[in-house]
Structure 1
Amino acid sequence: MKALQGVEGHVSWVEAERPACDAGQVRIRVAAAGLNRADLLQKAGLYPPPPGASPYMGLECAGVIEEVGAGVAWRVGDRVCALLASGAMAQEVVVDARHVLPVPEGLSLHEAAALPEVYATAWLNIFQLGALKPGEKVLVHAGASGVGSAAIQLCKAFGSPVWVSVGSKERLAYCEALGAAGGVVRNENLDDLKGLGPFDVVLDPVGASYGALNLEVLSRDGRWVIIGLMGGRKVELDLGVVLGKRLEITGSTLRNRDDSFKAELLRELAVQVWPLFSEGRLSPQLVDTYPVEFAQAAYAALESNQVSGKLVMVIDPSLK
């Protein structure tokens, strides 16, 4: 089989060993795989897969099950999507059967490939770690990203107003169309967030450059969940504010969580979130697809920071 390898900033479609399908696992013939910012870091050599995981690119995919291991309830031919620690961008993947979800009714395999990583990330960090309650206010930085798009829709669906920071007026309009109550353009009026808060939960993939601002706009007992460091990793914070407001600051990653943790997270998504796609209350926000032969162009588009929503790599065009 073939898989997408990232080395020194470039990607190549290379021959790879076909993995065995053991008890508790399924083999998926991959139709498409979603692109994520973590892929850019892996491609640059800055975010290697966890020990024992596939060395190839990709955190999520969708396709058709073609083999099941012992003790698995899935059946050959089932249309599914899956969350992986790496290796989703391959003609075949073998994955823990507990990390697989059905393709929501009415969605294509290409659309389903855009779901597992971003919805798992948004649910984990806003609703589990951020302990969001209905009616509480949320601030999502980089709101037009794949995770931001999922977060906005989830907050709206579960009764919490959400605001965003984004890179342009066009991206702000995109977020508002998804359900955001408003927001700011980071290079124009970022400080206006102070007048829109206070916020109960801040979902932050930026990190250091927004640190002081986050402390200021959080409410008493607010929760700041850090999921990325696009704005740097070192910052000076006033711990008096943290103490006085009783703030919680949480650093969070999903990729290196253990299999049981991911299984429970996906089980909760299956019950709480997946039905909302069939009801039309959530959307994949798939912006564009790229054949795997144009993988370098796909990642260049993602790296441009001009994409609102999700990009997907098509691995097998015969599967829809």
Structure 2
Amino acid sequence: MKYIHFQRPGDADVLQLSDMPTPTPSTGEVLIRVAAAGVNRPDVLQRRGLYPAPVDASPVLGLEVAGEIVACGEGVTQWRVGDKVCALVNGGGYAEFACAPQTQCLPIPASLTLVEAATLPETFFTVWHNLFQRARLAEGETLLVHGGSSGIGTTAIQLAAAKGIQVFATAGSAEKCAACEQLGARKAIDYRAVDFVDATKQLTHGRGVDVILDMVGDDYIQRNISAAARDGRIVNIAFLNGSKVTVDFMPVMLKRLTLTGSTLRAQSAAVKETIAQELQTNVWPLIEQQKIKPIIAARFPLAQAAAAHRLMESSQHIGKIVLCN
């Protein structure tokens, strides 16, 4: 099969189309003929040599796919050959075929194409786990999403708004702010022009926000603490600007804040299975009803993975980037 290969860490040009044997599904796995694969920030970090694959995972890039099941490993009971699924994979998505644990596969929502469905697993698993499982975000609360125009951001805005949460977001241009508001954010803040701490305080009449989803880090860590309401929860899922800072923790104590975070790839199979089950119960109906929709910024053929990574690194996109077979 064709797949995307790189011999050494480096810039996007190290990505090359190559050949390798088609994988064989292990016990509990299915083999998917990949119609499309989502491109995510962890792929870029892995390509740079900053986010190595776990020892038990495929070294091939790609954490989410959609396509048709063409083979089932021993012990697979949830799916059959011919079923169309989207899946969170343990690597291997940038290829014509990929293996996925049966418990990390989900049906294709009837309202979506396979290409659209390929954008769901990584972002929806991440957002659901961090906002609704870890931060316990609830109807009637307020949420601040940093990076609102990213794949994670557009997912978080739509999902939270559909769940009755008042959403604010930050983004880096008027165009991106407008897109966030069209997706359900009550107000999007251009962080290049306005201080988000002051803006959120004004928008909440001085109270602050209940939950903050951050992928920036650096000076945002202290500023998030300032923007949070009493008993607020701050969730970090990445540190694009750095993770090492000096922080005054006194407001954390005085406001009774919770600081938490996680990475998805390192979660156990049992945790990922639980997330998948909760998504199918709580989120897939919203997609079926078209209350939530994938936002695709660009589609590239598999052979143009380098161009897809360059777009990701430019941060000029709004929504998800997809590789198509």
> Structures share a fold, TM > 0.5?
yes
Which of these residues, 195, 205, 208, is aligned with residue 202 of structure 2? Answer: 195
Which one of the candidate residues 187, 209, 215 is aligned to 2:225?
215
Task: Note the C-alpha offset of 1:194.
Answer: 3.1
CA distance in structure 2 between the aligned counterparts of 1:68 and 1:268, rounded to whole angstroms? 24
> After superposition, where does 1:83-98 map in structure 2 within 5 Å?
83-98=88-103
User: Unpaired segments of 5 or more residues in structure 2?
Assistant: none
Report deviation, 1:185. Answer: 1.0
- Aligned: 1:53 with 2:57: yes
Tell me the amino acid that sits aligned with residue 153 of structure 1. Answer: Q
Q: 1:120 maps to what in 2? A: 125
Aligned match of 1:184 in 173, 178, 189?
Answer: 189
Q: Secondary structure at 2:169's aligned position in 1?
A: strand
Distance 2:155 2:57 in 1: 26
Secondary structure at the residue paired with 2:219? helix
Does residue 236 of structure 2 align to residue 232 of structure 1? no
Q: Secondary structure at the match of 1:67?
A: strand
Distance in 2, Cα, partners of 1:141 & 1:265: 23
For 2:79 and 2:110, locate their aligned partners in 1 and report how far apart those are by CA, in whole Å.
17
Which whole-Å CA distance do the structure 1 matches of 2:244 and 2:58 have between them?
31
Query: Among residues 271, 283, 286, which one is paired with 1:261 in the alignment?
Result: 271
Could you say which residue in structure 2 is the equivalent of 1:306? 316
Match of 1:22 among 26, 29, 44: 26
What's the offset of the Cα at 1:224?
Answer: 0.4
Read off the aligned partner of 2:16 and give its amino acid letter: S
Kindly provide the amino acid, as one letter, of the partner of residue 38 in structure 2: G
Matched, 1:101 2:111: no
TM-score by length of 1: 0.96
* In 1: Cα distance, 2:17 partner to 2:130 partner: 33
Tell me how far apart the structure 2 counterparts of residues 37 and 255 of structure 1 sit (CA, whole Å): 12
- The residue aligned with 1:318 is none
Could you tell which deviates more after superposition, 22-31 or 166-175? 22-31
1:150 and 2:160 aligned: no
Structure 2: how far apart are the matches of 1:82 and 1:281? 21
Q: Distance in 2 between matches of 1:74 and 1:62?
A: 14
The superposition leaves residues 206-263 of structure 1 with CA deviations (integer Å, 9 ceiling, x where unpaired) of 0122011101110111000000101211112111100011101002110111111111
1:152-182 deviations in whole A, cap 9, x for unaligned? Answer: 0111111001000111110000000000000
Q: CA RMSD in A?
A: 1.1
The reply on whether 1:134 has 2:144 as its aligned counterpart is no
Within 2, Cα distance between the matches of 1:199 and 1:92? 43
Name the CA distance, whole Å, in 2 between partners of 1:221 and 1:147.
24
Between the aligned partners of 2:161 and 2:290, the Cα distance in structure 1 is 13
**Deviation of 1:294 (Å):** 1.3
- Percent identical: 43
C-alpha distance in 2 between matches for 1:91 and 1:314: 9
Question: 2:85 matched to 1:75?
Answer: no
Partner of 2:15: 11
Q: Please report how far the alpha carbon of residue 70 of structure 1 lies from its aligned counterpart in structure 2 after TM superposition.
A: 2.8
Matched-pair contact (CA < 8 Å) for 1:183–1:193: no
Residue matched to 1:281: 291
**Helix, strand or coil at the partner of 2:69:** strand
1:44 paired residue number: 48
Q: Does the CA contact (< 8 Å) of 1:140 and 1:151 recur in 2?
A: yes
- SS of the residue 2:140 aligns to: coil
SS in structure 2 at match of 1:215: helix
Distance between the aligned counterparts of 1:196 and 1:128, measured in 2? Answer: 26
Distance of 2:48 and 2:258 partners within structure 1: 32
Which one of 296, 305, 309 corresponds to residue 295 of structure 1? 305
Deviation at 1:71, TM superposition (A): 2.8
Paired amino acid for 2:135:
G
Measured in 1, the distance between the counterparts of 2:203 and 2:225 equals 14
Q: Is the 8 A contact 2:200 2:209 kept in 1?
A: no
User: Structure 2 CA distance, aligned partners of 1:299 and 1:289?
Assistant: 12
**Structure 1 equivalent of residue 176 of structure 2:** 171
What's the CA shift for 1:186?
A: 1.3
Please state whether the residue corresponding to 1:208 is helix, strand or coil: coil
Work out whether 1:241 is the aligned partner of 2:238: no
Separation in structure 2 between the aligned mates of residue 3 and residue 54 of structure 1, nearest angstrom: 12
